Structure 1
Amino acid sequence: MNQSVSNLKLAERGAIISILTYLFLSAAKLAAGHLLHSSSLVADGFNNVSDIIGNVALLIGIRLARQPADRDHRFGHWKIEDLASLITSIIMFYVGFDVLRDTIQKIISREEIVIDPLGAILGVISAVIMFAVYLYNTYLSKQSKSKALKAAAKDNLSDAVTSLGTTIAILASSFNFPLVDKLVAIVITFFILKTAYDIFIESSFSLSDGFDEHLLEDYQKSIMEIPKISKVKSQRGRTYGSNIYLDITLEMNPDLSVYESHEIADQVESMLSDRFGVFDTDIHIEPAPIPEDEILDNVYKKLLMREQLIDQGNQLEELLAEDFIYIRQDGQELDKDAYKAEKELTSAIKELHLTSISQKTKLIRYQVGDTIHTSIWRRHETWQNIFHQETKKEKD
């Protein structure tokens, strides 16, 4: 939370720099445009005026977004940043269409005015300044992870390009190509409207809880790298400003304890935060479907085969758990190593019965000769015998 607030404070710096720069450039361009009779310079000046309004809205939005969560805004006020971007785009649309209308009227009226080439110098200076601001705001947007500031940086770049266009138009007009000045003014308005459209689409997408599917695919691939997760059943993502919120449903091995499942969920949250900068993740855990070979009838066959292998002294290292306990008829208790050392071949298993204690614990009871054998099998990844006891069969 504190990091997100710090990021917004960092983004404020970029908005303030942009406002101060646009104040200077818009005043210079509008004054020079009217004095030098350049439509493209005036259009560029109005473009910067729209940028001032947009960045003021952005600055207000960023400051409001920093407010902590309250009773009516449980997730905080982060979306105000997106709302500020949306307002910025609407303002830019208005200014762009207004400049376009004015330029078209001048073309229709065939107004021809001699343009002083000195205006080209201002265009070059403006382009250099705006490109520097673009680089600075791009750097800040990466540091602060602010989508609004990133959009503002794109606007800075378009302003640098349009300023170069203004320079070309003024030079062309000074060489008796006055129509070029007005055509470039139209091109400049196109950049204004295009930038406004891009910002509008991005902000409205976020405000309507849209989310990038490619990011969800990346999240899923990374989640599946964590052991004991069977499947990412569902994902839902949304953004609040520059903060990403995720709702994820995971399927895990049904043998896992609540503690183990919780530990894995914590791993997922930490990984998403560290690798992708996800702000908040809510994880719901569901048991994965029981495999075909774990259905009771199949378990019966599987454990019968394993009891036979143990009875024959085969694969003892694999089939016996490390904490295996064996109790003989005389009451003597043997551990795994002792049991392996004295194991003898016996007669065939008879009358095997399986009792299901739980999904992952089964009790096996069978007879070999005149001895009753009782085993407890536990499944944790694989089935292993954890307990075995011999009991002398009572004579009828």
Structure 2
Amino acid sequence: MNFLIRKFIRNWEQTSDPTVRKAYGTLSSVVGMLCNIVLFALKYSVGVLSNSIAIISDAFNNLSDCASCLVTLFGYKLAAKPADKDHPFGHGRMEYLTSLVIAVMIALMGFELLRNSAEKILHPEQVAFHAATLVTLLASVGVKLWMAWFNARLGRRIDSAVMIATAKDSRSDVIATGATILALLLSLVTDLPVDGVMGVAVSLFILKTAYDIIRDTVGELLGRPASPEVTQKLREMVLESPQILGLHDLMIHDYGPLNMIGSCHVEVRSNADLVEVHEVVDTIEREIYEKLHILMTIHMDPIEQD
């Protein structure tokens, strides 16, 4: 991981720099796409070789993960486009729109695999066991565990919820592949349509992935509240100054990753020096943008304490 970071990311230690964060996102996406494409090709090949719908479904699950990585890659690039006359708040939400399109494609893929798996249950076919198939699936588990570790480390390094979510998705894929391995082994001792049943399970897993993406994306587009962690950190930064007596009417609008705009009212003493308090407020706004990437507008409310 450290080799890849130093090789492909310039100024890799400056993780608060949007350009560096974009480079981290690009690295995560490219590594994810390469790994998932290789896994798809291997699983699809051994799935056709062994006539297993469960393995083929698991292969297309990796292909959907590749599509998610592609979304993340384009999302970082589109979100980095500067604001223009028609889009004064930037293009950050393009990532959400692209995610929505890809989620629909994943759902269609899941429904098609579900239909094929159901046919396998109704009209079961013999699954051919090959040692190479088992080795491929076990190697896939190892790759997915490494990807989970890789993205979790990157996510913690730049404080990226997207990468941490990607790591959780990789851990979930290990469970799906484990179910496929179980179906392959059970095919040796039973004539029941275990392969079709596991194919249905993996298909439902793909559909749930699509549903989760759609739910999260629609929530972002409709305007969900800022996370409690962000609002709590923001409050602490504002109230840290002794000049600020209180805070209310806090609003945060999300225009995409690293592109949030907020406003709030702060209470100050009515007899305080206006210039001095204004300097304090300006400093707070700059610190919030540097640490939380929120462009804040802070209004001062005078409070009479006498």
TM-score range, shorter chain: 0.7 to 0.9
CA distance in 2, matches of 1:6, 1:286: 38
Kindly report which structure 2 residues correspond to 1:234-383, keeping only aligned pairs within 5 A, or say none.
234-243=249-258, 244-273=260-289, 277-288=292-303, 290-291=304-305, 294=306
Cα 1:278/1:235, change in 2 over 3 Å? same
Residue number in structure 1 paired with 2:74: 60
Of residues 25, 39, 47 in structure 2, which corresponds to 1:33?
47
Cα drift, residue 188 of structure 1: 1.7
Contact 2:53 2:117 in 1 (8 A): yes
What do you get for the CA RMSD once the two structures are aligned?
2.4
Q: 1:147 to 1:202 in 2, by over 3 A?
A: farther
| Structure 1 counterpart of 2:120 | 106
Q: Distance in 1 between matches of 2:254 and 2:143?
A: 33
Q: Assess if the C-alpha contact under 8 Å between 2:25 and 2:72 holds in 1.
A: no
Supply the AA of the counterpart residue of 2:261.
Y
Which is further off, 167-176 or 48-57?
A: 48-57
Kindly indicate whether residue 139 of structure 2 is the aligned counterpart of residue 125 of structure 1: yes
Residue 96 (structure 1) aligned with residue 110 (structure 2): yes
1:342 is matched with none
**Residues 333-358 of structure 1: CA deviation (Å, up to 9, x unaligned):** xxxxxxxxxxxxxxxxxxxxxxxxxx
Question: In the alignment, which residue of structure 1 is the partner of 2:128?
Answer: 115
Are the structure 2 counterparts of residues 153 and 190 from structure 1 closer, same or farther at C-alpha, using a change threshold of 3 Å? same
Residue 287 of structure 1: CA displacement?
Answer: 1.6
Give deviations 1:79-130, integer Å, cap 9, x for gaps.
Answer: 2223333333222222222211221122123x13133153222111111101
Give the secondary-structure state (helix, strand or coil) at the position aligned to 1:287: strand
Question: Secondary structure of 1:71's match?
Answer: coil
Amino acid at match of 1:182: G
Question: 2: distance between equivalents of 1:75 and 1:9?
Answer: 22
Counterpart CA distance in 1 for 2:116 and 2:58 is 13
The residue number in structure 1 matching 2:243 is: 228
TM-score, length basis structure 1: 0.66
> CA 1:149/1:50 → structure 2, altered by over 3 Å: closer, same or farther?
same
Q: What percentage of aligned pairs have identical amino acids?
A: 27
* Structure 1 unaligned blocks of 5 or more: 295-396
Quote the Cα distance in structure 1 between the aligned partners of 2:28 and 2:153: 9
Higher relative contact order (CA 8 A, sep 6+): 2
Query: Residue 116 of structure 1 aligns to which amino acid in structure 2?
Result: F
- 1:72 paired residue among 86, 93, 107: 86
Specify whether residues 225 and 61 from structure 1 end up closer, same or farther in structure 2 by C-alpha distance, changes over 3 A only.
closer
The one-letter amino acid of 2:275's match is Y
2:190 to 176, 189, 192: 176
Contact 2:16 2:158 survives alignment (8 Å):
no
Residue 34 of structure 2, aligned match among 5, 10, 20: 20
Deviation at 1:13?
1.0
Deviates more, 1:233-242 or 1:206-215: 206-215
Q: 2:209 aligns with which of 170, 180, 195?
A: 195
Q: 1:2 offset after TM fit, Å?
A: 8.5
How far does the alpha carbon of each residue in 1:257-290 deviate from its partner, in whole angstroms, 9 at most, with x for none? 331222221343355356x5233222122222x3
Structure 1 or 2, whichever has the larger Rg, is 1
Question: Residue type of the partner of 1:121?
Answer: V
Aligned length: 289
- Measure how far apart 1:4 and its partner are: 1.3
Please report how far the alpha carbon of residue 32 of structure 1 lies from its aligned counterpart in structure 2 after TM superposition.
Answer: 0.8
